[in-house]
Amino acid sequence: MRISVSRVWRNRHVNYRMRAATCKSCGSITFPYQPVCSRCRGRNVEPVDLRGTGRIVSYTVNYQYREGFDRQAPQIVALVELDDGPKVLGVLTDVEPEEVYEGQRVSAVLRRVSADSYHGIIYYALKFRPVRDGS
Amino acid sequence: MVKVFLTAASTFKVGRHYNMGFGDLAAEVISSLESSVRSSQIDAVVVASAYPEKTGDQVMLASKVVTQMGLGDRVMGLRTEQGDASGLVALAVGYSLVRAGLANNVLLLGMEKQSEFPSRRLNDIVAQNLDEVYAHGVGLTNHAVAAILMREHMKRYGHDYEYYASWPITMHENGKQNPHAYLDFKVNLETVKSAQVVSEPLRLFDLAPRADGAAAVLLSSDEFAPKVSDSRVEVGPVCSSTIRVDYEPRLLSAANSMRYALDAVGLSMSDVDLFEVHDSYSVMASMILEETGLTPPGRGLELLQHIPINLGGGLKARGYPGGATGIYQLAEMYGHLTGTFQGRKVENVEVGLVQGMSDLGETSLATVLRVM
Ligand SMILES: [Zn+2]
């Protein structure tokens, strides 16, 4: 079994709702959620679900994918500055490499990422999709 | 207080050793240290290895070495794992045992097998360095993260691609003279520029080739060191810094670890005769060297023209044996300090700074080796 059911369940807030930690001391947001602020190291943090919208700061088209991710090649990976503050690295979806540009608006969407074909378990997680007119 | 000396070193050529398992690799490097190991009666063996569970279905590597090599039932076996920083973490453990007076002689053995599977499988294994909750799950690779850092570095400092090419060109020149180098051939600018794109702007020569390897060094207390070796290479405190990767084109973990290590022995950057740095990617080499403060911001690779760096070819040309890398770095630096290095040399090396880290620099360690 490649995918652990309990692990998928355990990580569901981060991977389905973009759960982060907001620091009540310094205001910094840490993604994914952790019980300590990544800026001031304080423990006075609360869970917050991010909106998942932002803009592309940098991106790369990656041709050396991992086993199990063959069908997504080439993979476009972007550094996204979220409207909520933090910068996160994410995989882009529903877009061709030549359509991507720095400054492009993106929004997080839930996508099928990998599957355990033998046991029928599917792993869903967040990807980023360019925001187009009317979407 | 007990002082810690490096008293012997051995490296095996990095490469695709399909006919060798962990036991064979251990035998290869320990056998070439046979006389030192026998005469020193080692108390512990610390194995540095990052991925043996996935690449070789093996845990308890250190115990296997103790029994298979007949080191004796009193020898304590330990293993360190901090990704590709495992080697210098092993040094931290061995150093502590000797310094505390709990061991007189400690063998550090770095071993990694990374040629067992096709690259897509290996990419999956080394992606375990990423955070499992989010980054690993969505399918990110270390190369893609490094590519983003390279892009950010290019934008911040206005570099074009050619700036980074000086690293592989110099490393291959060095590697060509190192008998234990994996990629022992020269490359020119045209070859580097036209190489296969891995993850834009990262091309094949901008990343260090992961392969199999094994290396060993022996640590001895000041009391026992003269019984093992005539050389007097003292190991300074092993200092570490761990900082979350924030996609800024800087390596504060490297900066801190190097500064702490120099402070610990009362030296400064300008006292260093030879650097050995963890060039998992050309952009990482640049960022590490920038953190020495010896170059203007963003122009770390210009240091290649002023100070000897990675004379064995670095990870780029000597090869990148994962968690064993730090032990290779120590073994090569030992060679330079004792005048026994079989490759490109420089005269009068008395202070060597060894910096090693995890692939993307989340954790970095450093130590100063000195001829006393
Ligand atoms: Zn805070």
* pLDDT string in tens for chain B (372-residue length): 899 999 999 999 999 999 999 999 999 999 988 888 776 789 999 999 999 999 999 999 999 999 999 999 999 999 999 999 999 999 999 999 999 999 999 999 999 999 999 999 999 999 999 999 999 999 999 999 999 999 999 999 999 999 999 999 999 999 999 999 999 999 999 999 999 999 999 999 999 999 999 999 999 999 999 999 998 999 999 999 999 999 999 999 999 999 999 999 999 999 999 999 999 999 999 999 999 999 999 999 999 999 999 999 999 999 999 999 999 999 999 999 999 999 999 999 999 999 999 999 999 999 999 999
Angle, nearest 10°, between helix axes B22-31 and B61-68? 60
Q: Which residues of B touch A (CB under 8 A)?
A: 118-121, 123-124, 127, 131, 133-135, 137-141, 143-145, 147-148, 151-152, 155, 196-202, 244, 246-247
CB–CB contact B139 A91 (8 Å): yes
Residue of B nearest to A57 (CA): B152
pLDDT at A135 over 60: no
C-alpha A40 to ligand 1 mean position (Å): 4
Omega before residue B321 within 30° of 0, cis = no
Strand pairing class (B274-276; B351-357): parallel
CATH of A5-130, one of 2.60.120.10, 3.40.50.300, 3.30.160.20, 2.40.50.840: 2.40.50.840
Residue B363: CB atoms within 10 Å: 22
With a CB cutoff of 8 Å and minimum separation 6, the contacts of A7 are: none
C-alpha to C-alpha distance for B137 and A14, rounded to whole angstroms:
11
Tell which of A13, A64, A76, A91 to mutate to test the B interface (max B CBs under 10 Å).
A64
B-chain residues within 8 Å CB-CB of A11?
A: 133-134, 137
CA distances from residue A129 to A105, A108, B56, B344 in whole angstroms, order as listed: 9, 6, 39, 50
Select from A79, A89, A114 the Cβ nearest to the Cβ of B135: A89
Q: Contact B139/A69, CB-based, under 8 Å? A: yes
- Chain A environment of B131 (Cβ under 8 Å): 32
Residue B267 C-alpha, separation from nearest chain A C-alpha, in angstroms: 31
The whole-number pLDDT of residue B337 equals: 97
Report the distance separating Cα B12 and Cα B366, nearest Å.
23
Dist. CA B90–CA B109, nearest whole Å: 8
Residue A135 C-alpha, separation from nearest chain B C-alpha, in angstroms:
23
Cβ-Cβ contacts under 8 Å for B299 (sequence gap 6 or more): B157, B286, B290
- How far apart (Å, rounded) are the C-alpha atoms in residues B256 and A54? 32
Helix (H) or strand (E) holding A59, with range, is strand A53-62
| Nearest-angstrom CA–CA distance, B364 and B297 | 20
How many Å apart are CA A106 and CA A82, to the nearest integer?
A: 9
Quote the CA–CA distance of B205 and B315 in Å, as a whole number: 11
- Print burial letters for B325-361: b (CB count within 10 Å at least 16), e (below 16): bbbbbbbbbbbbbbeebebbeeeebebbbbbbbbbbb
Q: How many CB atoms lie within 10 A of CB B160?
A: 9
CA-to-CA distance for A42 and A121, rounded, in angstroms?
37
Across the interface, of B131, B138, B202, the residue whose CB is closest to A113 is B138
Phi-psi region of B100 (alpha: psi -120 to 50; beta: other; left: phi over 0): alpha
**CA A20 / ligand 1 centre spacing (Å):** 13
Does residue A47 have a cis peptide bond before it, meaning omega lies within 30 degrees of 0? no
Q: What is the pLDDT of residue B79?
A: 98
- Name the CA dihedral angle for B30, B31, B32, B33, rounded to a multiple of 10 degrees: 50
Residue of A nearest to B118 (CA): A67
